Homo-oligomer: A and B are copies of this chain.
């Protein structure tokens, strides 16, 4: 049925008559060639002014329902349909199975040890609001139009360069920086550019599920390369087929937490230079380093084979959806073209807000403050694990970031244990769920302390200890 009631729209007389005539034509109650009453006659039939009927006829002529013939009236057009036309409307839909991707722990009211999720309660709301406000008076009219460069706002890109120099030792020009919708878009764009179905891509194993899924969506063959306490085992990189790119998290391996040693970095760069493959360096949380200086980026050593990917989801907030990549010269033009055809560019006002937020040193101060807060949470988690499990637990991968690895020698926290704990409102993350080749991470848990409340950590660890059937 076409002529439904439109409770929220104001139904004018014009619209009511338009709908009525339209329905009659679509349902073949008037047929092609029928002559319609004159506007005068129809006006008197409906008890409305003639101008309303004129308007309805004009609309129906413009849309092709009717044809006006000079001096001889208005006729129903030939719509070419033999049967009454069916209108299909279905309003009940299910969203279906979604990929297993970061859900919002803020909506979970329990203890959530999810890795790589920042403490939302400490987000600098007020400073962000002030900055967001402050930009309006400085905006140009042009800032509301399309940006000229798909790489993003120039001020933001310059500030990202300064941030990278100060925190990661990376020297690059704003021209090499492409602002993206989070690191996710950066990696998706790189996949689209570098991988065709049948190509090969090497990735750390274990890794983040959504990284694996993005690679899988390209139709490329995924070559898992094992990780140990010094990061990616570079000597295990395959050479037949040669991967088109290698995905690495050298500053803080996700999820195992190891730092890629300098020896392996050099080997990895030699591999890239010899094979011509690209290295995608995902640096998602290494500015939160708890001892010594931040680890240098792989990109610092090579600007031609390394694509550096960064994000503001962990050091600011996830729903900002801004990240960036630092791109080798020969990939820049095709990447910008792809970015342009994907979404033209990222939203401008949030970019300008972020540029000011960095320029005013709010980001730097926020990171320094969060390092203290995360450092306390990390200590609490480590103390709690040691006090509860004693020699039965070994902690690794805790030098930086928002998570660590707890390796158990006499217990096993597997997906079954995770389900049992979830019924008690505690979420844990077995390392096995991040494994491509299964069966090698069974004694490990990935434990995030970013968003877990400090006061709740002990309670969560106690509940784990209480789990009787976790004993091996």
Among A64, A121, A320, A338, find the residue whose CB has the most chain B CB atoms closer than 10 A.
Answer: A64
A323 to B169, CA, bound (A): 38
A1 to B280, CA, bound (A): 23
Residues on B with beta carbons closer than 8 Å to the beta carbon of A399: 62
User: Considering only CB atoms, which chain B residue lies closest to A294 in the complex?
Assistant: B59
For chain A, the count of residues having a C-beta within 8 Å of the partner chain is 130
Closest CB in chain B relative to A190 CB, distance in Å: 12
A105 to B142, CA, bound (A): 8
Contact of A346 among B26, B136, B321 (CB under 8 A): B321
Q: Is B336 a contact of A80 with CB atoms below 8 Å? A: no
Contact of A104 among B80, B133, B142 (CB under 8 A): B142
Closest CB in chain B relative to A304 CB, distance in Å: 5
Q: Is A263 a contact of B95 with CB atoms below 8 Å? A: no
Contact digits for A319-360, partner B, Cβ 8 Å, 1 yes 0 no? 111100000010011101110111111111110000000000
Q: Is B184 a contact of A181 with CB atoms below 8 Å? A: no
User: Considering only CB atoms, which chain B residue lies closest to A267 in the complex?
Assistant: B80
Instruction: Name which of A42-50, A172-180, A427-435 contacts chain B.
Output: A172-180
Beyond A145-B319, A291-B58, A336-B96, whether A342 also contacts B188 by CB under 8 A is yes
User: Considering only CB atoms, which chain B residue lies closest to A185 in the complex?
Assistant: B343
Q: Which residues in window 98-153 of A have CB below 8 A to B?
A: 98-99, 101-107, 117, 120-121, 123, 125, 129, 132-133, 136, 139-151
Q: Is B184 a contact of A343 with CB atoms below 8 Å? A: yes
A347 to B317, CA, bound (A): 11
Q: Is A319 a contact of B341 with CB atoms below 8 Å? A: no
Q: Is A6 a contact of B165 with CB atoms below 8 Å? A: yes
The verdict on A288 contacting chain B, using a C-beta distance below 8 Å, is no
Residues on B with beta carbons closer than 8 Å to the beta carbon of A65: 262
Q: Is A140 a contact of B106 with CB atoms below 8 Å? A: yes
Q: Is B9 a contact of A344 with CB atoms below 8 Å? A: no
Contact of A175 among B93, B144, B300, B317 (CB under 8 A): B93
Q: Is A9 a contact of B120 with CB atoms below 8 Å? A: no
Q: Is A181 a contact of B98 with CB atoms below 8 Å? A: no
The verdict on A72 contacting chain B, using a C-beta distance below 8 Å, is no
Q: Is B64 a contact of A262 with CB atoms below 8 Å? A: yes
Q: Is A173 a contact of B92 with CB atoms below 8 Å? A: yes
User: Considering only CB atoms, which chain B residue lies closest to A102 in the complex?
Assistant: B146
Residues on B with beta carbons closer than 8 Å to the beta carbon of A96: 332-334, 336-337
Beyond A321-B347, A341-B213, whether A263 also contacts B106 by CB under 8 A is no
The verdict on A230 contacting chain B, using a C-beta distance below 8 Å, is yes
Closest CB in chain B relative to A149 CB, distance in Å: 7
Contact of A99 among B18, B146, B300, B337 (CB under 8 A): B337
The verdict on A210 contacting chain B, using a C-beta distance below 8 Å, is yes
Residues on B with beta carbons closer than 8 Å to the beta carbon of A269: 85
The verdict on A303 contacting chain B, using a C-beta distance below 8 Å, is yes
The verdict on A264 contacting chain B, using a C-beta distance below 8 Å, is yes
Among A6, A217, A321, find the residue whose CB has the most chain B CB atoms closer than 10 A.
Answer: A321
Closest CB in chain B relative to A320 CB, distance in Å: 6
The verdict on A259 contacting chain B, using a C-beta distance below 8 Å, is yes
Q: Is B149 a contact of A95 with CB atoms below 8 Å? A: yes
User: Considering only CB atoms, which chain B residue lies closest to A334 in the complex?
Assistant: B96
A20 to B181, CA, bound (A): 38
Closest CB in chain B relative to A199 CB, distance in Å: 14
The verdict on A261 contacting chain B, using a C-beta distance below 8 Å, is yes
Q: Is A95 a contact of B336 with CB atoms below 8 Å? A: yes
The verdict on A222 contacting chain B, using a C-beta distance below 8 Å, is no
Contact of A18 among B15, B181, B291, B293 (CB under 8 A): B293
Beyond A259-B62, A340-B98, A344-B101, whether A301 also contacts B85 by CB under 8 A is yes
* 11 intermolecular pairs with C-beta atoms under 8 Å apart: A81-B266, A87-B300, A87-B301, A92-B173, A93-B176, A93-B329, A94-B329, A98-B150, A98-B336, A105-B145, A184-B344
